[in-house]
Amino acid sequence: MSAAASNIDAFWMPFTANRDFRTKPRIISGASGHYYTTADGTRLYDTFSGLWTCGIGHCHPKVVAAVQRQVAELDYCIGFQVSNDKAFALAERVIDIAPEGFSNCFFTNSGSESVDTALKIALAYHRARGEGNRTRLIGREKGYHGVNFGGMSVGGMVPNRKVFSPNLIPGVDHLRHTLDLQHNAFSRGQPEWGMHLAGDLERLAGLHDGSNIAAVIVEPVAGSAGIIPPPVGYLEKMREICDRHGILLIFDEVITAFGRVGKAFGAERFGVKPDIITTAKGLTNGVIPMGAVIVRDHVYDAFMQGPPHMIEFFHGYTYSGHPVAAAAGLAVLDVYKEEGTFEQAASLEQTFEDILHSFADHDKVIDVRNFGLMGAIELASRDGAPGARGLEIHKKCFWDEHLVVRNGMDVLQFSPFLNSDVDEMQRSFEVIRRVIDTVD
């Protein structure tokens, strides 16, 4: 067996059918701009911009140069009681583009860590204010908040929860999700139906007494469950209920932050201000793993009590504020500004929406959903084989058409580059239509 083959055996791949993968591997060895390349030099167009990560394209020269410079200048720096110049600079820059009132930024290494950090901040915030009874956390069905125990517990993706069900953290309830094809199939953007479902929070506040609830966490637009935009008025109503009961509102913006919905944050786009925002992915364009939790001043201030020599929050990671990741983040934020990336993303929305909804007439398609540059084409499942059609399309696109297309079961998901070329985007969807035609 060749060295390459034994490498393939050793890597236990995440969220992958490992045995199926090894029968005919899909391995990328290079990338530039909007394309991946394989070892034999084949170029593949990336319809998912990484994993929602690489909005400005792969290997952006400014980001590559910043990382190269930083790794030679300061490769690592202790992050507890000492830190590095780039981490402070990046925190300031993130706060500069955050909605008004957000004052502080806590660095993590991933979306999952951002979520668990945010949940811990919420619990500790209430305790610091003398409301330690507020321990209950609320998530939502179909929510995805990463794979750590907190995020998994508030999340609502059944396959991710199933095996760990007895070990999920106690004291968590879930709102109903808002995807109902009878009422909101083929909505363009936000569906008109479903605002009333935010009222589930009021019901839970009635059941437990709102004074026992610490926080509710939602993705402003659910991503991993297959792009579920919030119904009109839904997030506004959620904010109102939180205010009435003193509940913290956490927006998980690991996908929606940094231009994906045409603004720096979903909070800005929807005009609804949460208390805490979690981010990752677009913070560094995926180049170096990094996440950030940003909080409003009242949250931060609640911690800044007691003797000043005491650590205010016993939490952090060896790599929080890593200088190379922070340098990547600074370069990425520069590019967003210099190239007008968020505005460019906003200008592509209508074209993207029109292309996606042109699939509505296809007999295998049961729904099309979109918001910003997030989109989904939901296919009918084959009898007795949910997910098989989606996976076959993914593989056919990769091997025969040189397109990387993500499927979540039978939902084809799309995350175009924020600086997509319209012709390229159009061509990729022509190919996808042909592939949908040709599979069973």
Ligand X SMILES: Cc1ncc(COP(=O)(O)O)c(C=O)c1O
Residues at the contact surface with ligand X, assessed by CB under 6 A:
110-112, 115, 144-146, 219, 223-224, 252, 254-255, 280
Cβ atoms of 342 and 263 within 8 Å: the answer is yes
Distance of closest approach, residue 160 Cβ to ligand X, in angstroms: 11
Distance of closest approach, residue 14 Cβ to ligand X, in angstroms: 9
Host H or E run for residue 330: helix 323-338
For the chain, what percentages of helix, strand and coil (3-state, to nearest 5) are there? 45, 15, 40
- Taking the least distance from each CB to ligand X, the nearer of 119 and 280 is 280
Distance of closest approach, residue 231 Cβ to ligand X, in angstroms: 18
Q: What gap in Å lies between CA 168 and CA 204, rounded to an integer?
A: 19
- Taking the least distance from each CB to ligand X, the nearer of 210 and 408 is 408
Q: What gap in Å lies between CA 32 and CA 364, rounded to an integer?
A: 34
- Taking the least distance from each CB to ligand X, the nearer of 210 and 390 is 390
- Taking the least distance from each CB to ligand X, the nearer of 224 and 320 is 224
- Taking the least distance from each CB to ligand X, the nearer of 219 and 275 is 219
Q: What gap in Å lies between CA 251 and CA 261, rounded to an integer?
A: 14
Distance of closest approach, residue 219 Cβ to ligand X, in angstroms: 5
Tokens found for residue 63: 């980001």
Distance of closest approach, residue 383 Cβ to ligand X, in angstroms: 30
- CB neighbour list of residue 302: distance below 8 Å, 6 or more residues apart: 125, 128, 129
Whole-Å CA distances, 16 to 59, 264, 334: 25, 31, 34
Residue with tokens 């437990």: 208
Cβ atoms of 255 and 286 within 8 Å: the answer is no
Distance of closest approach, residue 255 Cβ to ligand X, in angstroms: 5
- Taking the least distance from each CB to ligand X, the nearer of 241 and 254 is 254
Distance of closest approach, residue 37 Cβ to ligand X, in angstroms: 24
291: phi then psi, degrees, rounded to nearest 5: -130, 165
Distance of closest approach, residue 207 Cβ to ligand X, in angstroms: 26
Nearest to 16 by CA among 303, 381, 395, 327: 395
Distance of closest approach, residue 228 Cβ to ligand X, in angstroms: 12
Residue nearest to ligand X (CB): 111
Strand-pairing partners, residue 58, are 33
Distance of closest approach, residue 40 Cβ to ligand X, in angstroms: 29
Strand-pairing partners, residue 229, are none
- Taking the least distance from each CB to ligand X, the nearer of 5 and 51 is 51
Cα-Cα-Cα-Cα dihedral sign, residues 292, 296, 301, 302: negative
Distance separating the N- and C-terminal Cα atoms of the chain = 35
- Taking the least distance from each CB to ligand X, the nearer of 195 and 254 is 254
- Taking the least distance from each CB to ligand X, the nearer of 194 and 226 is 226
Distance of closest approach, residue 267 Cβ to ligand X, in angstroms: 14
Coil, helix or strand for 295? strand
Residue with tokens 């990752």: 280
Q: What gap in Å lies between CA 435 and CA 440, rounded to an integer?
A: 10
Cβ atoms of 230 and 142 within 8 Å: the answer is no
- Taking the least distance from each CB to ligand X, the nearer of 173 and 252 is 252
- Taking the least distance from each CB to ligand X, the nearer of 231 and 282 is 282
Torsion of Cα atoms, 42 then 48 then 54 then 57, to 10°: 50
Torsion of Cα atoms, 430 then 434 then 435 then 436, to 10°: 100
